[in-house]
A and B are shown apart, each in its own frame.
Chain A
Amino acid sequence: MIRRLLPLATAALFALALPLLVSRPDAQNTAILMLMTAQLGVAWNILGGYAGQVSLGHAAFFGCGGYVSTFLFLQHGVSPWLGMIAGALAAAALSLVVGWPCFRLRGHYFAMATIAVGEIVQALVTNWEALGGAVGLSLPVTESGWRGMVFNQSKLPYYYLALGLLALSLLVNHGVARSYLGYYFRAIKDEPDAARSLGIGLTRYKLAAIALSSALTAAGGTLYAQKELFIDPGSVLATGLSIKISLAAILGGVGTLFGPVVGAVVLTAIEEASRRWFGGSGRGTDLVVYGLLIVGIAVFRPEGIAGLVRRARSRAGAAA
């Protein structure tokens, strides 16, 4: 037990103390990006990893969180904290509406349908005047503080908010994996036909997975909106974002608790590095690196970094 908890406690302490060690604003910003991407990967993993339903439309839920909280604040002065909850509920509701028909489809048919859903949502919001259309919505720069979830001087509070949200997502993920839901999810993923023949209503559990996953993703969307103070369809609803979310989980290892966290850290580091070394993102080099990475993982290491670690461990165990 201690052997398992010790690395976890060390990692948690390290994450809590990191901003004290790193004071450069751009480095802190990278750290925040890592945590936010990790949180989204962990949320995606509930549906895509544990239940094995590969969604490539999660940006719709992310955008839902950002748009609901921002809209409620701008129109009715609702606190972003409440907005975050409202956004999560709205995304869960949206996911049920989307999931119910789409869960009739399996494998890549499901993945293709989620792309279609994501694209439809993006096109609708782009043409929705009340939501700012293609221009997007801006949050006013109000007084800095925890009540309004806006911090002007230092980005540090966003770091801890992202860390808290990541911890919450990991807890939910852990709880789900350990509960009866987790067993059903694994049955759906590995043996759908056997599960069905035992009378497990697959759709019900798939819906539970997508609702949890989308609610947590939406909470990340609200945090993003509060940090950037600006959202538009291109930044929070694009299919590219959906891919990035799923990629974090896949790079790290799907269906493992900490895989998406590792994947997000590596992915964000590579992105930032390729941007810095090869110049602006307009040159396309970040895309080239990204693409090579995805193909490489798909071909050589489908089980992700977590699989690499497991293999190294079992080799070390065999040697000892």
Chain B
Amino acid sequence: MLLQTLLSGVLVGLVYALVAVGLTLIFGVMDIVNFAHGEFLMLGMYAGFWGWALWSLDPLATLPLAALLLFAFGALVYRLVIRRILDAPMLSQIFATFGIMILLRGLAQYLWKPDFRSVGETAVAGTLALGSLRFGRPQLAAALGSVLASALVWWFLRYTRPGAALEATAADREAASLMGIDPGRMFSLAWGIGAACAGIAGVLICTYQPVFPEVGANFILVAFVLVALGGFGSVPGAFWAGILIGIVEVLGGFLVGPAYKMVLVLSLYLVVVWLRPQGLLGRA
């Protein structure tokens, strides 16, 4: 029973990790908190839903297109809004992404109504039994997809030239631009990848979670916690923190009741930023 709970927590946590990887990437590269990150996830979920509802496409088939769309959308948000507030006071930076969050929620409500919508039968329906352990196939697929996507981001940052340029910009914007790296293009790239991560997570979870305009709210809070725990800007940190928080959430919901699991996660966040403002796994 305990093992079942732990493993379910890991599955949940891996999806959180992918959302947080995107958020921490944006944060690390340009020191801006994207409050609209949960809404990127919401858009991914709607992409999965509409692909299924309009063209009876399996969400997994929609995935590549959705990822591309979200990438373009993230870059667009950077071009239209974020680019203009790079040197603005902190207040403007907070409220710019906050405004985008509210705008996207409002648009979703206006276009697609506030109803809860669910995808029906998909390619990954059913449960998988391993001995006495039982896992939902949708959850397994989502976790697996999240690991692959997170690993892809990590590989991109580590082993490709644009990835190295991105890391260089994160480490020292001035020095990177002296080396001929255009910071604007890097920021745009970070927003594209960040949004695509959230969007992929959204498509992956729409096979077992209903989608509605405010669905991003819970994910953004959890993603904040992961970014803080993992060390602000650290992609591997966010990933491991995702697994940790997934376990805390499921185990906590099991031990003290589901109503308090968010309280538990957020309290953990406060304790961590209080004790180690640079993040649990971050370096001072």
Contacts and interface: CB of A to CB of B under 8 A. Distances in A.
Interface string A101-115: 110110111011101
A288 B106 contact: yes
A241 interface: no
Given A283-B110, A285-B106, A116 B101 contact: no
A113 B266 CA distance: 9
A295 B106 CA distance: 13
Nearest to A284: B109
Interface string B154-181: 0000000000000000000000000000
B252 to A, nearest CB: 12
A107 to B, nearest CB: 5
Given A127-B260, A290-B106, A302-B91, A282 B114 contact: yes
A104 B273 CA distance: 9
B267 to A, nearest CB: 6
B93 to A, nearest CB: 7
B274 interface: yes
A290 B88 contact: no
Contact of A119 (B90, B91, B262): B262
A25 interface: no
Interface string A305-319: 000000000000000
Contacts of A291: 99-106
B100 A295 contact: yes
Contacts of A295: 81, 95-96, 99-100, 103
Contacts of B263: 120, 123-124
Interface in A238-273: 243, 247, 250, 254
B4 interface: no
A302 B92 contact: yes
A123 B259 contact: yes
Nearest to A123: B263
Contact of B103 (A123, A127, A254, A287): A287
Contacts of A109: 273, 277
B94 interface: yes
Given A284-B213, A288-B107, A294 B262 contact: no
Given A115-B221, A285-B110, A295-B81, A243 B98 contact: yes
B268 to A, nearest CB: 10
A284 B224 contact: no
Nearest to A294: B99
Interface residues of B, number: 43
A282 B270 contact: no
B94 A54 contact: yes
Interface string A24-40: 00000000000000000
B221 A287 contact: no
Nearest to B220: A115
A272 B261 CA distance: 36
A285 B107 CA distance: 7
Given A112-B33, A117-B270, A123-B259, A302 B277 contact: no
Interface string B208-222: 000001000000010
Interface in B70-123: 81, 84-85, 88-96, 98-110, 114
Nearest to A106: B277
Interface in B247-284: 259-260, 262-263, 266-267, 269-270, 273-274, 277
Contacts of B260: 123, 127
A247 B259 CA distance: 30
B33 A108 contact: yes
Contacts of A294: 95-96, 98-99, 102-103
A292 interface: yes
A286 interface: yes
A105 B275 CA distance: 11
A154 to B, nearest CB: 35
Nearest to B101: A291
Nearest to B213: A284
Nearest to A48: B91
Given A105-B277, A298-B85, A302-B88, A120 B95 contact: no
Contacts of A293: 99
B103 A108 contact: no
Contacts of B274: 101-102, 104
A79 interface: no
Indicate the member of B85, B93, B269, B273 with the most A CB atoms within 10 Å.
B273
15 contacts: A105-B277, A111-B94, A112-B33, A116-B269, A120-B270, A250-B95, A284-B109, A287-B106, A289-B106, A290-B106, A291-B99, A295-B96, A295-B103, A297-B92, A299-B84
Given A109-B273, A119-B221, A299-B85, 9 more contacts: A111-B33, A254-B91, A284-B213, A291-B102, A291-B106, A294-B95, A294-B96, A297-B99, A298-B93
9 shortest interchain CB distances as A-B pairs: A291-B103, A287-B106, A284-B109, A294-B99, A295-B99, A291-B102, A298-B96, A288-B106, A284-B110
